[in-house]
Structure 1
Amino acid sequence: MNEILHIYHTNDIHSHFENWPKIRHFLERKQAQHARQNEEMLLFDLGDHVDRWHPYTEGTMGKANVRLLNQLGYLAATIGNNEGITMPHEALDTLYEEAQFDVILANLFDENGKRPQWAVPRKLYTTKSGVKIGVTGVTAGFYKLYRLLGWQLSNPLEELGKQMNILKKEADILIVLSHLGIHEDRLIAKLYPEVDLVLGGHTHHVLAKGELDGRTLLAAAGKYGYYIGHVKLEIDPAAKKIVYQSARALPTGNFQEPPGEAAEIEHYYFEGKKLLNQKLVYLPEKLESDWFKENRLTGLLCDAVMEWCDADCAFLNAGLVLDSLEHGPVTKFDLHRILPHPINPCLIELTGEKLQEVLLSTLDPKWPHLELKGLGFRGKIMGRFIYRNIGFNHALRKIEVGGRPLEPDRIYRLGTIDMYTFGDFFPHIREAKIHYFMPEFLRDVMEWKLLQEYGQ
């Protein structure tokens, strides 16, 4: 009799705990169902489960996410860039201390070139019938950012080759846990046709019924817990070969609502709020935010970025500041509420000629109402740009920095945010010399500035 293997997978949850009760309820029922039918079930997460936009994740530095994975009996996980480059080195190094699942990650090393003790490059699992399942995992190559946090990454596709050379000698079925994105997953299928299954994430793609590339099945389940992936394999235990396979992305919106769903979602939020309820300063006045006008609060943030980066000038978009700060005590939760983004300050070195082109492009009327998702931004719209040490003479189309006309050949130090270096905002910024300040987020820099202005 053939063996039935059910593989469920999640990816890019990004701490969207509003979908977690449905996911938990569904998977618990499937675990019971497959046990009754004497069918095996494996459960994997493909990274970016952690996202510090949610107060529960922020307050526990991701360890709440690990506890949630433990509760559901995940077999293994790999990491995404949100675990890897939005957390300080020590926080990632201790994130999985309580993990009851394997962290499979082949291409991450410490500064000395050693794999962290909490990760393994590959793992061999054996089914009830004796079929050996070889699993390896890789994460996306944000090499420079990992280096700034005290880690090294090897090329994920090259590292896969090393792991495949070992696993194909030991395993009957080969699975890759990939946080590389759809294009690289397809490349895996071409480079390593011996791989049976790639479970993918990172680019938030949905493969509703999987995708067969050669003999390799690709599966992916979108983002935020809107889907759960399910792969069904029928295996001939004598030949130790897959004789049937299918993949689906199951919409969680169709799942049954579990009892107490709303209370559970609220619990995650208020637990995070309690953990972040640490008073920082007392404001003698309300600091208003406004996405379309110059205002004191966003101006303070822009000042903070310029000073933190030791820059000649600075700009950022007002839509970063999601809400006002009320008169009275300000806590870490308040700063997290108004600046939830995993966005770092950065310093850009540009000639005056290129800086002028960038600054003139910020005046484009498309920006203030532009809706934006991703690249670390956890707000709604861009809002207008706010400037420090920058003046515009619109009649002459001339720009001043520090009260003096821009000099075309001079190198200027622009303080701004890393988001502009990743997206298609300003080509000159992407091409410039960039210094990222890590692991500090904008809310950390704002805290530093508020303590300067209002601390006692």
Structure 2
Amino acid sequence: MESIQLRHTNDLHSHLESWPRVSRYLQGQTTAQTTYKFDIGDAIDRFHPLTDATMGQANVKLMNQIGYDAVTIGNNEGLGLSHEDLNHLYDHANYPVLLANLTELPGNNQPAWAQPSHIFETEAGTKVGVIGLTAPYELTYRSVGWNPHDVETTLDRLLPRLRDQADFVVLLSHLGLPTDRELADKYDLDVIIGAHTHHVLPQGELKNGTLLAAAGRYGDHVGQIDLVLDDNHQIVTKSAQAIPLTDLPIEPGDEDKIQAFQDRGIQLENEHKIVHFDQVQTIADQGRACLQALKEKSGLDVAFCSAGLFLQDLPVGENTAEDFLASMPHSIHPMVATLTGNELKDLVAELKAKEASLLNQRVKGSGFRGKVFGQVLLSGLTYDDQGQLLYAGQVVQADKQYKLATLDHYRWVDFFHVLDDSPAEIDLNLLLRELLAKYYQEQALTAGK
């Protein structure tokens, strides 16, 4: 009989306050004959100054110290970084990146930093096939030079060959729990280690013979899968558990390490000087600047955003990348949406109807790192004396198409259904704080400062 243990993390999102305990667990002793360590994506998140300043390179360096055996990527790696930055994220990684359903445009080539699958072999001769898959956001990935491929088409192509070569197969899935369950019903997979939907499976879940496992988010759990195999390298028992972070002891020095991560990030961010302000830029000022920046970038006269995007004032004096990160830590990008006149009327009516409730409406996820939606901010959309909606001073016609400069955040949050499926152009190479930084720099140049 042979024992194999799989230790796993997912959706850490640069919550480095968890890292000392998580990393200690990953490196801890085990009674299994063989132990593999996997991360299932979204290890990075640019809300943390150390990640933002190094474009995730610092996270990779920390993961190198653990001895991960393989990782896959999530949307925070794939879409939170520019094409160029993702191409260099793993330059110094000492582990393979497994990613079977994303190719690089224009040639549709496998990224140089990733491979579709890998076969590990234990000392006892058991061959472990591992595949990596990530959520295939069709429009967004293609806009930054990557081509996501259908999950089932990818498995249909790869899995039969891998099953022939390996004794059992593990899927590193940054696809979400609903998809994991569907794949368990359709495919001969022994283990699916999940992520993306931040779900916790305390004791795993057995579905159609496939063991599903997942360890929550932000390092609030770590995952452990225990497998026992017979002399023919076939699994005879398998179990999973998600171990709460609170069960892992805090040790002297942990707080110092956490603070050191923060301090180093802030130091690096502060080295990036952006603009000098003679007056405080209040949250309200930043909201107005956002509307103007969106209009100037898009060349449009109409824009929409919300005050909850701005978390603190930008102070008098030299402002750095750290100041802008502190006010706008979100993974949110400029977007131009195209709406018919009727759709635009519906959106503005919905904004007006919800305006009071949105003021303190709590928002989570979809790249947002603040607390509430805040005040609705509009520019270029007004009503005339007859109550007709005006777009840049002209009466909105029902069937005519109109463009609206805004942010992709409003497409993903479940508030404005008219934006969900409308044609849109999203600049994933530019974050909100980078848009504002560029706008303020151009304003300073114009003023001769």
* TM-score, length-scaled by structure 1: 0.94
* Aligned pairs for 1:83-122 within 5 A: 83-111=77-105, 112-122=107-117
Work out the CA distance in 2 between the residues paired with 1:147 and 1:258: 45
Match of 2:315 among 306, 322, 326: 326
Equivalent residue for 1:412? Answer: 402
What is the Cα-based RMSD across aligned positions, in Å? 1.4
Gapped runs of 5+ residues in structure 1?
290-294
Do residues 381 (structure 1) and 380 (structure 2) align? no
* Aligned pairs for 1:180-259 within 5 A: 180-192=175-187, 194-236=188-230, 238-259=231-252
Does the 8 Å contact 2:324/2:433 carry over to 1? yes
Match of 1:272 among 259, 265, 268: 265
* Aligned pairs for 1:1-20 within 5 A: 2-20=1-19
Equivalent residue for 1:292? Answer: none
Does the 8 Å contact 1:12/1:202 carry over to 2? yes
Secondary structure of the residue aligned to 1:146 is: helix
Displacement of 1:296 in angstroms is 1.7
Work out the CA distance in 1 between the residues paired with 2:120 and 2:324: 45
Work out the CA distance in 2 between the residues paired with 1:297 and 1:232: 52
Displacement of 1:19 in angstroms is 0.8
Equivalent residue for 1:151? Answer: 146
Work out the CA distance in 2 between the residues paired with 1:302 and 1:222: 36
* Aligned pairs for 1:128-143 within 5 A: 128-143=123-138
Does the 8 Å contact 1:312/1:413 carry over to 2? no
Work out the CA distance in 1 between the residues paired with 2:288 and 2:151: 41
Question: In structure 2, what residue type is equivalent to 1:14?
Answer: H
Secondary structure of the residue aligned to 2:212 is: strand
Do residues 78 (structure 1) and 72 (structure 2) align? yes
Do residues 337 (structure 1) and 326 (structure 2) align? yes
Partner deviation per Cα, 1:59-103 (whole Å, 9 max, x = no partner): 000011111111111000000011001111111011101111110
Work out the CA distance in 2 between the residues paired with 1:181 and 1:436: 23
Displacement of 1:41 in angstroms is 1.0
Secondary structure of the residue aligned to 1:372 is: coil
Partner deviation per Cα, 1:349-386 (whole Å, 9 max, x = no partner): 11222111101211212211111111010111110111
Displacement of 1:258 in angstroms is 2.2
Partner deviation per Cα, 1:220-259 (whole Å, 9 max, x = no partner): 11111101111011111x2211111111111002210022
Match of 1:369 among 331, 356, 360: 360
Work out the CA distance in 1 between the residues paired with 2:278 and 2:183: 58
Does the 8 Å contact 2:4/2:32 carry over to 1? no
Work out the CA distance in 2 between the residues paired with 1:396 and 1:7: 67
Displacement of 1:153 in angstroms is 1.4
Displacement of 1:397 in angstroms is 4.7
* Aligned pairs for 1:153-172 within 5 A: 153-172=148-167
Does the 8 Å contact 1:66/1:96 carry over to 2? yes
Work out the CA distance in 2 between the residues paired with 1:299 and 1:368: 17
Question: In structure 1, what residue type is equivalent to 2:255?
Answer: A
Equivalent residue for 1:453? Answer: 443
Equivalent residue for 2:301? Answer: 312
Displacement of 1:303 in angstroms is 1.1
Question: In structure 2, what residue type is equivalent to 1:25?
Answer: R
Does the 8 Å contact 1:312/1:412 carry over to 2? no
Summarize the Cα distance change of 1:17–1:397 in structure 2 as closer, same or farther, 3 Å threshold: farther
Question: In structure 1, what residue type is equivalent to 2:343?
Answer: K
Do residues 421 (structure 1) and 411 (structure 2) align? yes
Does the 8 Å contact 2:40/2:74 carry over to 1? yes
Equivalent residue for 1:437? Answer: 427
Secondary structure of the residue aligned to 1:27 is: helix
Does the 8 Å contact 1:280/1:451 carry over to 2? yes
Displacement of 1:407 in angstroms is 2.7
Do residues 126 (structure 1) and 121 (structure 2) align? yes
Partner deviation per Cα, 1:14-41 (whole Å, 9 max, x = no partner): 111111111112222x2xx22xx46211
Question: In structure 1, what residue type is equivalent to 2:327?
Answer: I
Displacement of 1:147 in angstroms is 1.1
Of stretches 40-49 and 355-364 in structure 1, the one that deviates more from structure 2 is: 355-364
Of stretches 405-414 and 336-345 in structure 1, the one that deviates more from structure 2 is: 405-414
Do residues 46 (structure 1) and 40 (structure 2) align? yes
Does the 8 Å contact 2:131/2:170 carry over to 1? yes
Does the 8 Å contact 1:66/1:95 carry over to 2? yes
Work out the CA distance in 2 between the residues paired with 1:276 and 1:67: 18
Gapped runs of 5+ residues in structure 2?
none
Superposed structure 1 runs of 4+ greater than 4 Å apart: none
Q: Matched residues, percent identical?
A: 36
Work out the CA distance in 1 between the residues paired with 2:139 and 2:9: 27
Displacement of 1:406 in angstroms is 2.6
Do residues 288 (structure 1) and 277 (structure 2) align? no
Work out the CA distance in 2 between the residues paired with 1:126 and 1:250: 27
Work out the CA distance in 2 between the residues paired with 1:331 and 1:438: 22
Work out the CA distance in 1 between the residues paired with 2:156 and 2:133: 11
Secondary structure of the residue aligned to 1:102 is: coil
Do residues 403 (structure 1) and 393 (structure 2) align? yes
Work out the CA distance in 2 between the residues paired with 1:258 and 1:406: 63
Displacement of 1:392 in angstroms is 4.5
